[in-house]
Amino acid sequence: MSSHRYLNCSRIVGGACLLLSLHCWGMQDPNYALDWRQLLEAPDPVQLTTLASRYENGQGFRHDYARARQLYCAAARLGHLPAQRRLAWLYAHGVGAPQDVDLAAAWLKVAAAKGDLQARKFLAFLGQSGPGRQPRCTYLSRFDEYARAIIPPALGRSEIDWSRDTGLAKGVSRPTPLQIASWVTQLAPRYGLEPELILSVIQAESNFNPRAKSHKNAQGLMQLIPDTATRFGVKDITHPIQNLHGGMAYMRWLLAYFQGDVQLALAGYNAGEGAVEEYRGIPPYSETRNYVRKVIRSYGKSTHPPVEQVVAPSRILSASLGDRSPR
Cα→Cα distances 101→86, 124, 273, Å? 13, 12, 20
Phi-psi region of 207 (alpha: psi -120 to 50; beta: other; left: phi over 0): left
Q: b or e along 301-325 (b: 16 or more beta carbons within 10 Å of the residue's beta carbon)?
A: eeebeebeebbeebebeeeeeeebe
Spatial distance between the Cα atoms of 252 and 188, rounded to a whole number of angstroms: 10
How many Cα atoms are found within 13 Å in the side-chain-facing hemisphere of 220? 22
| Strand residue runs (E) in the chain | none
Spatial distance between the Cα atoms of 238 and 3, rounded to a whole number of angstroms: 40
Query: CB within 8 A of 101, min separation 6: which ones?
Result: 91, 92, 126, 128
Q: What are the residue numbers of the active site? A: 205
Spatial distance between the Cα atoms of 239 and 252, rounded to a whole number of angstroms: 20
